[in-house]
Structure 1
């Protein structure tokens, strides 16, 4: 069945893209060193009367809640969030879990797909898909750079079904130590990582072409 083979091929390439994107997200959301750099550079701790160590402890508690399904409740030493904030963090946790699920499932597909490409000496097929994908992060980055605030709002409106992500600093002090600049840097980091991944895939494909010649 030709259509079945085409469908299988399309799903394999989609799985490869999803695997790269989900892996990039995992690396980015767990880049605690980036938050540490912001905490030091922007002196975030003093804004809520916390030491750097106390602030990082709270941040790690937040990450543990978001990353681990066996942590059912968000509890931080120095922040007590409002009901809407807790709903938002629960929504974020669900997105984290979805990303991990996508990564795990696509890892299996990509493993067998990659093994077949190597076995059949078809790694050259990476060239066109990776060349095409290379254009996407720069385009999104330009849109983001033009008006990051608007990009940030649209990003949240796409991902979340409510406005619970609009924190009130008087009720949820944690927003004071999660500045927009930090999230902007996370986006930049994600763009750099995924662009590198596409470029690396392209280099593998071109190397395979040279070996065929």
Structure 2
């Protein structure tokens, strides 16, 4: 008995839309996580954005402190934030703790959405219901269109709005004298990171579209 036969048409369509939204969320989260892990982007930007010259730190010191931040955020264990060679304020420490907490939540969501996706893919492929792929790439297409337009119009405003949504304080507004780490994390780097996330999602859209065209 097919899944569609077990459910009436309306609940079935709602269920399929739910699965597509979950699959889209999973791809978005994976893209965010992979971008965080993709250190070569920052290594390139150190030279491209002339971060050594702007910050006054050596390339070795810049890379060491950046790697520490990424490893700290990715580490699921509770560890105290302590930069290897740069001083920082209590507010700066709290901000990185909050960023780490957000990515801990992302890890949990990846597990939950991953399980739901596995079940959804199994039932849809078994019942040869491939519209699931089409709905997912359309959801992703709608998702990337809005931020892409916002980035093109004014990335600075988008950057500020993002922080106001995800952080309840203004600790992300670093004072370079108290938190010199901000000098090695220019806004242009975050712009490049945002574009990389959208690129990964775009690749996923194209992949899902090809899969749908071949299977449908």
Q: Normalised by the size of structure 1, how large is the TM-score?
A: 0.90
The answer to whether residue 138 in structure 2 is matched with residue 131 in structure 1 is yes
- Give me the CA root mean square deviation: 1.9
Separation of aligned partners in 2, 1:132 and 1:9 = 12
2:214 paired with 1:207: yes
Q: Secondary structure at the match of 1:103?
A: helix
Gaps of 5+ in 1: none
Q: Partner of 2:79 in structure 1?
A: 72
> 1:70-125 CA deviation, whole Å, 9 max, x = no partner?
25111222112101111111110111111111111111111121122221111243
What is the match of residue 68 of structure 2? 61
Distance 1:6 1:121, change over 3 A: closer
Choose 49-58 or 113-122, whichever is displaced more: 49-58
Gaps of 5+ in 2: 1-6
Which of residues 151, 154, 157 is equivalent to 2:161? 154
Which string of whole-angstrom CA distances, capped at 9 and with x for unpartnered residues, describes residues 52-85 of structure 1?
Answer: 1221111111111111122511122211210111
1:170 equivalenced with 2:177 (yes/no):
yes
Equivalence for 1:14: 21
Q: Secondary structure at the match of 1:163?
A: coil
Select which of 92, 95, 99 maps to 2:99: 92
Greater shift, 134-143 or 75-84, is seen at: 134-143
Change (3 A) 1:128 1:19: closer
Tell me the SS of whatever aligns to 1:121: coil
TM-score (norm: length of structure 2)? 0.88
Say which is worse superposed, 42-51 or 153-162, in terms of deviation: 42-51
More displaced stretch, 10-19 vs 102-111: 10-19
Please say which of residues 168-177 and 10-19 is displaced more in the overlay. 10-19
Question: Is residue 183 from structure 1 mapped to residue 183 from structure 2 by the alignment?
Answer: no
List per-residue Cα deviations over 1:116-167 (Å, max 9, x = no partner): 2221111243224423431331332111111111111111101100100000
Q: Aligned partners of 2:127 and 2:169: how far apart in 1?
A: 48
